[in-house]
Amino acid sequence: MSNPTAEKPAGAPAPPPKPSKPGIGQALYTILTKPDDADESKIILRRRRFVMASVLGFLTVNLVMFLRFFLPRTLFEPKTSFRIGYPSDFGFGVDTKFQNQYRIWVVRNTEGIFVISAICTHLGCTPDWKESENKFKCPCHGSGYDPEGVNFEGPAPRPMDRAHVELDPEGQILVDLSRVYRWPKGERSQFGDPGAIIRV
């Protein structure tokens, strides 16, 4: 039996070397320069093709950019109406689990359950709930709100808005951010209106 790893006899021809792939620089050099054995007409034809491909590529990119200007820019806004669960899912106090997804807080107190829109009435920043201090504090300009969203410090001109809440046929809390209840400065509060709070 012959050994496949045995050395080839000295007289055997060596296998031809594998041709290496040309790099980008070498390809461009070949296109733009004249090899010794190349025909002059082929060189000119290659150069013309390269220039035409570059020009057509440039024009295509600019055409796409021009057409993109006329296409509508769609903004995907979060839903304004959604369910957050059953009233029994919420204990007394401020629930912040929907702050990132819907920018709201769910509050339950002795009066019932209501939803505060987490938008500062000063310049629209999102306040933070400071549980240790039992208040909402705006990080932008220092406005402070009590657990019911009523302003008591800082430049905020009025309390934060409340979203419309109601119970759906299944008994879940349905929140509608397109309908809000406000307490404008010096005017009547809408926080006791039907839809501003669920009495439980």
pLDDT at 13: 63
- Confidence band of 175 (pLDDT split at 50, 70, 90): very high
Question: Mean pLDDT throughout 130-152?
Answer: 92
**Does 58 share its domain with 86?**
no
Please give the tally of structural domains in the chain.
2
Alpha helices (H) along 69-174: 99-102
What six digits make up the tokens of 70?
A: 């006329």
Extract the tokens encoding 111.
């009066």
The verdict on residue 15 lying in a domain is no
Same domain? For 103 and 134 the reply is yes
**Domain of residue 89, CATH code:** 2.102.10.10
Q: What is the pLDDT of residue 153?
A: 92
Within a domain: 85: yes
How is 22-54 classified by DSSP, letter by letter? P-HHHHHHHHHS--TTS-HHHHHHHHHHHHHHH
User: Are residue 91 and residue 177 in the same domain, yes or no?
Assistant: yes
Residue 32 confidence (pLDDT) above 70: no
Question: pLDDT digits over 8-27, tens only?
Answer: 555 556 666 665 666 777 76
Both 30 and 112 in one domain: the answer is no
Q: Write the pLDDT tens digit of every residue in 88-113.
A: 999 999 999 998 889 999 999 999 99
**Are residues 30 and 97 part of one domain?**
no
Query: What's the mean pLDDT in 69-73?
Result: 79
Q: b/e string for 126-152 if b means 16 or more Cβ within 10 A?
A: ebebeeeeebbbbeeeebbbebbbbbe
In a domain, 189, yes or no: no
Average pLDDT of the residues in 30-51: 74
Could you tell me the residue range of the domain that residue 48 belongs to? 24-68
Q: Is residue 107 part of a domain?
A: yes
In a domain, residue 116? The reply is: yes
The answer to whether residues 90 and 146 belong to one domain is yes
